[in-house]
Amino acid sequence: MRATTVIEVRPARAPLSGAARVPGDKSISHRMALVAAVANGPSAISGFSRAGDCETTLSVLRALGVPLERASGDIVIEGVGWDRLLSPEQDLDCGRSGTTMRLACGLLAGSALDLTLTGDPQLLARPMERVAEPLRLMGARVETSDGRPPVRLQGGSLSGIEYELPVASAQVKSAVLLAGLRADGITTIVEAVPSRDHTERLLSWLGVPVEIAESPGRRVSVRRAKPRAFEANVPGDISSAAPLLAAAAAVPGSSVTIEGVGLNPSRSAFLEVLARMGAEVEIEPSAEAGPEPFGAVTVRHGDLRAVEIGESDVPGLIDELPLVGVLGALAEGSTVVRGAAELRVKESDRIAGLVEGLRELGADADELPDGFTVTGPAVLSGGAVDSVGDHRLAMAFAVAALAATGPLSIEGLDSVADSFPSFVPTLDSLR
């Protein structure tokens, strides 16, 4: 069981203001590192995330014999291809990172390695059969433990498949596309609801044959290819920026700017939700070229109103939905989120954890099987809440604390190191 720390967050006694930067995007950092490991030479990545989950991906690559050098946010990874990956001396430890485990399974499915991927107790409770099934269909030998980690993987010769995702998941899609780089024929993923598209953007930018058709459903296809080495910058993580922007929306009179943040359309739905809820949102795109769009985002407080979030909205909002719940507690009317059952199998059951925490603060919140309802506006009290070791819930409760009537002690706020190690001092810098 991971030890947690109780950290007190004080209410905002004045509007939040100023500009800040957030860590490099976790999703993009994971993908760039894994693809660089099998590229045809050294790749230089700047702005690489220092989040614990991304450090885990680098540790996995080191265990596979991939040479890499790290200096602050810059990293150089020497691509060794699939054939020169080494069999690890012990099980690959994926820590708490589901992204590391799922994407590594896809990348290694076409190798000659026989290995086991494991992790912390929190990760061992998460579903992995959703990745194992398509990789088996491609020809890899994959065994799970009643559908969960540890995962035993024997890579080998793969064949392309057409696979319709049973649940919207960028991680499953990415695992299959990465396996497709070593498969004979065409590998196609069919999405009923589009998920974040970082993997196909990166692969296309690196010269991999990628074809995308938007109808019927969204179809993403790749062919066997070896990515070229590259130099790239990781933009700021929009999911790390989200709690700071939500804080600006929550605290009257506030105006906060996040610079150099990713503006990928498949990840920016939270900005649209902020605007729908009544906040003022201003976006200034950068003209700099690269695999991902980025720029500056400014959010100013406005009178908040309730929103309804449906199943088609969820993939672009999955990490930010706890923040929607917090803002819903401060908004006029009933905020309803449906089609988000995936929240129950994240680092925690985020639906149950969010609703319990909001109730502790005095909000009117209820669970739905696949989401939640929050009716406001509520007067949020201080006190104490438990983030159940989940970094997204911890940051959401920190935002709620800014709008509360008294200090809030958050158990497990140290879990923000998984994605945003400097979250608390960055938030304090805007006071």
DSSP result, 64-127 = TT--EEEETTEEEEE--TTTTPPPPSS-EE-TT-HHHHHHHHHHHTTSS-EEEEE--HHHHTS-
Residue range 143-163: mean pLDDT, rounded:
96
Could you report the per-residue pLDDT of 260-286, keeping only the tens digit for each?
A: 999 999 899 999 999 999 999 999 999
- The string of pLDDT tens digits covering residues 190-227 is 998 888 999 999 999 999 999 999 877 899 999 999 99
pLDDT of residue 66: 98
Q: Does residue 34 share a domain with residue 20?
A: no
- Note the pLDDT of residue 128: 96
Q: Is the pLDDT of residue 44 over 60?
A: yes
The token pair at 373 is 């309802």
pLDDT of residue 61: 98
Length of the chain: 431
Q: CB pairs under 8 A, 24+ apart, for 71-74?
A: 73/24, 73/46, 73/47, 73/48, 74/44, 74/45, 74/46, 74/47, 74/48
Q: How is residue 103 written in tokens?
A: 């994407």
Alpha helices in 2-51 (DSSP H): 26-37
44 and 89 part of one domain: yes
Residues 259 and 282 in one domain: yes
Residue 1 clears pLDDT 50, i.e. is over it? no
Q: What is the DSSP string of 358-391?
A: HHHTT-EEEEETTEEEEEE------EEEE-TT-H
Do residue 150 and residue 286 come from a single domain? no
105, part of any domain: yes
Look at 290 and 234; give whichever has higher pLDDT: 234
Domain match, 109 and 132 both: yes
Q: How far apart are CA 32 and CA 20, in angstroms?
A: 24
Quote the pLDDT of residue 193.
85
The residue to which tokens 């649940």 are assigned: 167
User: Measured on CA atoms in the order 12, 18, 19, 21, is the torsion positive or negative?
Assistant: negative
Can you give the pLDDT at residue 97? 94
Q: How many domains does the chain have?
A: 2
The residue-averaged pLDDT of 141-157 equals 96
Q: Rounded to the nearest 5 degrees, what angle is found at the Cα of 332, between the Cα atoms of 304 and 367?
A: 105
| Closest residue by Cα to residue 235 from 427, 16, 28, 14 | 28
Q: What percent of the chain has pLDDT over 90?
A: 89
Q: Is residue 226 part of a domain?
A: yes
Which of 312, 377, 388, 398 lies closest to 346, judged by CA? 388
- Shared domain for 149 and 17, answered yes or no, is no
Residues classed as catalytic: 319
Residue 101 belongs to a domain: yes
Q: Torsion over CA of 96, 102, 104 and 105, rounded to 10 degrees?
A: 130
13 and 35 assigned to the same domain: no
Q: Can you give the CATH number for the domain in which 265 is found?
A: 3.65.10.10
- Show the tokens assigned to 7: 């950290």
- % of the chain with per-residue pLDDT over 70: 99
Average pLDDT (177-194) is 96
Q: Which of 188, 208, 232 is the last residue of a domain?
A: 232
Mean pLDDT of all residues belonging to the chain? 95
Asked if 17 contacts 430 with a C-beta cutoff of 8 angstroms, the reply is: yes
Cα–Cα distance between 324 and 266 in angstroms, integer? 17
Sign of the Cα torsion 192, 198, 199, 204 reads positive
Last residue of a domain, one of 199, 232, 265: 232
Instruction: Give the mean pLDDT of 16-44.
Output: 96
Q: Are 365 and 393 in contact (CB under 8 A)?
A: no
1 is a domain residue? no
Amino acid code (one letter) for 80: V
Is 355 inside a domain boundary? Answer: yes
Please measure the distance between the N-terminal and C-terminal CA atoms of the chain and give it in whole angstroms.
Answer: 34
CB 31 within 8 A of CB 199: yes
71 domain residue, yes or no: yes
> Domain for residue 286, yes or no?
yes
Q: Classify residue 39 by its DSSP letter.
A: S
Full domain range(s) for residue 374: 6-24+235-429
Single residue among 197, 212, 232 that ends a domain in this structure:
232
**Nearest residue to 147 (alpha-carbon basis) of 172, 162, 130, 165:** 130
Residues 86 and 82: their CA atoms lie apart, in Å, by: 9
If asked whether residues 179 and 37 sit together in one domain, one would say yes
Confidence at residue 3, expressed as pLDDT on a 0 to 100 scale: 52
Determine, yes or no, domain membership for 354: yes
Write down the residue that tokens 């819903």 correspond to: 328
Q: Tell me, what's the pLDDT at 230?
A: 97
Q: What is the pLDDT of residues 348-399, one digit of tens each?
A: 999 999 999 999 999 999 999 999 999 999 999 989 999 999 999 999 999 9
Q: What is the pLDDT of residues 293-344, one digit of tens each?
A: 999 999 999 999 999 999 989 988 999 999 999 999 999 999 999 999 999 9
- On whether both 319 and 337 belong to a single domain, the answer is yes
166 DSSP 8-state letter? S
Are both 65 and 78 inside the same structural domain? Answer: yes
CA 272 to chain centre: 18
Q: Please give the model's pTM, rounded to 2 decimal places.
A: 0.87
pLDDT at 347: 86
pLDDT surpasses 60 at 73:
yes
Indicate whether 71 and 61 sit together in one domain.
yes
Q: Are residues 176 and 240 in the same domain?
A: no
